[in-house]
Amino acid sequence: MQRDQPPVCGAQPTDDGRCLWRVWAPNVRQVELVLAGPPRSIAMTAAPRGYFEAELPNIAEGQRYAFRLDGSEPRPDPASTWQPDGVHAPSAVFNPRLHAWRDANWPGVAADRLVIYELHVGTFTPEGTFAAIVPRLPQLVELGVTAIELLPVNQFPGHRGWGYDGVHWNAVHNTYGGPRGLQQLVAACHAAGLAVILDVVHNHLGPEGNYLPLFGPYQNTRCRTPWGEGLNYDDAGSDAVRGLVLAGVRQWVRDFHVDGLRLDAVHAIHDYSPRHLLADIKLAADEESQRLGWPVHVIAESDLNDVRLLQPLDHGGYGLDAQWSDDFHHCIHCLLTGERDGYYADYPEPAAQLAKALNETFAYDGCYSAVRQRRHGAPAGDIGGERFIVNIQTHDQVGNRARGERLHQLVGPAQQRLAAGLLLLAPHTPLLFMGEEYGETRPFLYFCNFGDRALQESIRLGRQQEFAEFHWQGAIPDPNDPATFEQSRLCWSWPALSPQGGLRLLYCELLAARKRWPALGDFRHRRAQLFAGQGGLSLLRGDSARPAEQLLAWFNLSGSPLPLPEEAHPPHLLFRSEEQRYGGASFAGEGLAPWEFIVWGTHRE
Is residue 32 helix, strand or coil? strand
The per-residue pLDDT for 2 is 45
Output the domain CATH number for residue 236.
3.20.20.80
Identify whether 386 is part of a domain.
yes
Rounded Cα distance, 479 and 481, in Å: 6
CA angle 591, 593, 598 (to 5 degrees): 65
* β 536-541/551-556 pair status: antiparallel
Rounded Cα distance, 112 and 115, in Å: 9
Pair 154, 168: CB distance under 8 Å: yes
Q: Which of 462, 487, 512 is the last residue in one of the domains?
A: 487
Q: State the CB neighbour count (10 A cutoff) for residue 519.
A: 25
Q: Which of 487, 510, 541 is the last residue in one of the domains?
A: 487
Q: Which of 70, 95, 120 is the last residue in one of the domains?
A: 95
Are 134 and 172 in a shared domain?
yes
Are 472 and 558 in a shared domain?
no
Is residue 20 helix, strand or coil? strand
Are 123 and 16 in a shared domain?
no
Are 23 and 159 in a shared domain?
no
Pair 183, 191: CB distance under 8 Å: no
Identify whether 518 is part of a domain.
no
Task: Identify the H or E element spanning 52.
Answer: strand 51-56
Please report the DSSP string for 164-223 in residue order. TT-SEEEEEPTTTTHHHHHHHHHHHHHHHT-EEEEEE--S---SSS--HHHHS--EEEEE
Residue stretches of the chain with pLDDT short of 70: 1-3, 468-474, 568-570, 588-589, 603-605
Identify whether 5 is part of a domain.
no
Please report the DSSP string for 537-598 in residue order. EEEEES-TTSGGG-EEEEEE-SSS-BPPPTT---SEEEEETT-GGGT-----SSSB-TT-EE
Is residue 77 helix, strand or coil? coil
Give the chain's domain count: 3
Q: Which of 115, 50, 146, 106 is nearest to 424 (CA)?
A: 115
Rounded Cα distance, 593 and 597, in Å: 8
Q: Is 396 a residue of the active site?
A: no
Print burial letters for 353-368: b (CB count within 10 Å at least 16), e (below 16): bbbbbbeebbbbbeee
Identify whether 506 is part of a domain.
no
Are 87 and 179 in a shared domain?
no
Enumerate the β-bridge partners of residue 54: 21
Are 185 and 292 in a shared domain?
yes
Rounded Cα distance, 210 and 155, in Å: 11
The per-residue pLDDT for 458 is 87
Identify whether 516 is part of a domain.
no
Output the domain CATH number for residue 81.
2.60.40.10
Give CA separation, 437 vs 216, 426, 474, 515, 588, in Å: 46, 16, 29, 18, 27
Task: Identify the H or E element spanning 528.
Answer: strand 526-531
The per-residue pLDDT for 579 is 93
Are 279 and 232 in a shared domain?
yes
Are 126 and 221 in a shared domain?
yes
Output the domain CATH number for residue 548.
2.60.40.1180
Are 469 and 563 in a shared domain?
no
Identify whether 105 is part of a domain.
no
Are 91 and 117 in a shared domain?
no
- Could you say which DSSP state residue 275 is in? S
In tens, the pLDDT along 330-361 reads 999 999 999 998 899 999 999 999 999 999 99
Rounded Cα distance, 86 and 164, in Å: 15
Catalytic annotation, pick one of 32, 77, 149, 301: 301
Identify whether 1 is part of a domain.
no
Catalytic annotation, pick one of 118, 255, 259, 264: 264
Domain that holds residue 294: 111-487
Identify whether 392 is part of a domain.
yes
What amino acid occupies position 130?
F
Give CA separation, 331 vs 309, 355, 364, 463, 595, in Å: 23, 9, 11, 26, 15
The per-residue pLDDT for 531 is 93
Are 231 and 315 in a shared domain?
yes
Are 269 and 339 in a shared domain?
yes
In tens, the pLDDT along 233-274 reads 999 999 999 999 999 999 999 999 999 999 999 999 999 999
Q: Is 301 a residue of the active site?
A: yes
Is residue 263 helix, strand or coil? strand
Q: State the CB neighbour count (10 A cutoff) for residue 259.
A: 28
